[in-house]
């Protein structure tokens, strides 16, 4: 099937694409093999550099660092979603006194780098424990991005949705909360999950203000001389943990999207008998 911007490739094009895929795969495998070879040549796979995994105290410290990362992610994700929903509604308000400040706040925190926000809150404002600065920075930065995502999702909905809600006597706040935002969240779910993945990775910036998360754990253990300064092995373990969590979020997004499609099909099947009854009555 072809579209305006894409034509179905012919036999020669498909063969060429397969060739490109094989060459790309070989280059990728060769690159990974070269990195592994260099690691082995520099002694990164020696037993001494991996012996830190055998110590129970270090294992418990790793678990604590993982929990701290998940704590910062969980709090930042919840607050960012709430922040995004509130300021998306503010930007869509009919009242200029609400719409303009909401737009200024969103544009401000979208433009400021996250690391600058964390530094300002921790060293400038001195909020207290590093967790507060990390969570507040994650909330403001990612919440501003999510506000734009929610706003785009609401604007993408058919006008008939809001007009029907107004027709039954709902106020704009009720329309936004009960009709538009739930549909916008469903429509923009892939973009929302993608931003949450970014938020998860941004928690690593907490090590800059000595927040005890995974990257700070890697820096601490990687500098230990008694284990031969195993910075690369620790980084490999921490990277694997981050990749696993990001893949889990991606799987969750795929699952929710499939479930929402399945729910829509159920609703359509439930509506058909009623439509048949009306047609028969006519």
pLDDT digits (tens, 9 = 90+) for 104-115: 999 999 888 999
Six token digits for residue 218: 């890697």
Report the candidate in 225, 30, 208 with the shortest Cα–Cα distance to residue 113.
208
> Which residues make Cβ contacts (< 8 Å) with residue 68, sequence separation at least 6?
131, 211, 212, 213
Six token digits for residue 66: 């993982």
pLDDT, position 260: 67
pLDDT digits (tens, 9 = 90+) for 52-101: 888 888 889 899 999 999 999 999 999 999 999 889 888 888 788 888 99
Q: How many CB atoms lie within 10 A of CB 250?
A: 14
What distance separates the 2 farthest-apart alpha carbons in the chain?
86
Q: Residue 3 — pLDDT band, cuts 50, 70, 90?
A: low
Share of the chain above pLDDT 70, in %: 89
The answer to whether the pTM exceeds 0.95 is: no
Asked if 134 and 74 touch (Cβ cutoff 8 Å), the reply is no
> Which residues make Cβ contacts (< 8 Å) with residue 11, sequence separation at least 6?
none
């Amino acid at each position: 099937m072809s579209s305006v911007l894409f034509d179905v490739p012919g036999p020669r094009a498909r063969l060429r694409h397969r060739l490109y895929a094989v060459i790309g795969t070989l280059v990728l495998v060769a690159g990974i093999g070269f990195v592994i070879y260099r690691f082995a040549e520099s002694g990164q796979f020696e037993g001494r550099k991996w012996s830190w995994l055998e110590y129970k105290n270090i294992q418990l410290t790793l678990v604590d660092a993982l929990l701290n990362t998940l704590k910062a992610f969980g709090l930042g994700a919840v607050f960012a979603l709430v922040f995004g929903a509130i300021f998306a509604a503010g930007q869509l308000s009919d009242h200029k006194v609400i719409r303009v400040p909401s737009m200024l706040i969103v544009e401000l925190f979208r433009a400021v780098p996250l690391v600058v926000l964390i530094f300002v809150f921790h060293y400038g404002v001195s909020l207290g424990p590093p967790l507060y600065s990390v969570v507040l920075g994650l909330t403001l930065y990612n919440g501003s991005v999510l506000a734009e995502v929610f706003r785009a999702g609401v604007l993408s909905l058919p006008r008939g949705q809001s007009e029907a809600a107004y027709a039954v006597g709902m106020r704009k706040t009720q329309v936004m909360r009960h009709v538009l935002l739930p549909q916008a969240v469903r429509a923009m779910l892939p973009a929302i999950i993608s931003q949450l993945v970014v938020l998860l990775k941004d928690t690593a910036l907490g090590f800059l203000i000595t927040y005890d998360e995974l990257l700070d754990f890697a820096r601490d253990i990687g500098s230990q001389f008694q284990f031969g300064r195993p910075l690369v092995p620790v980084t490999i373990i921490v990277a694997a943990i981050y990749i696993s969590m990001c893949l889990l979020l991606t799987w969750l997004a795929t699952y929710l999207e499939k479930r929402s499609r399945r729910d829509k099909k159920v609703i359509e099947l439930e509506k058909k008998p009623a439509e048949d009854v009306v047609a028969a009555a006519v």
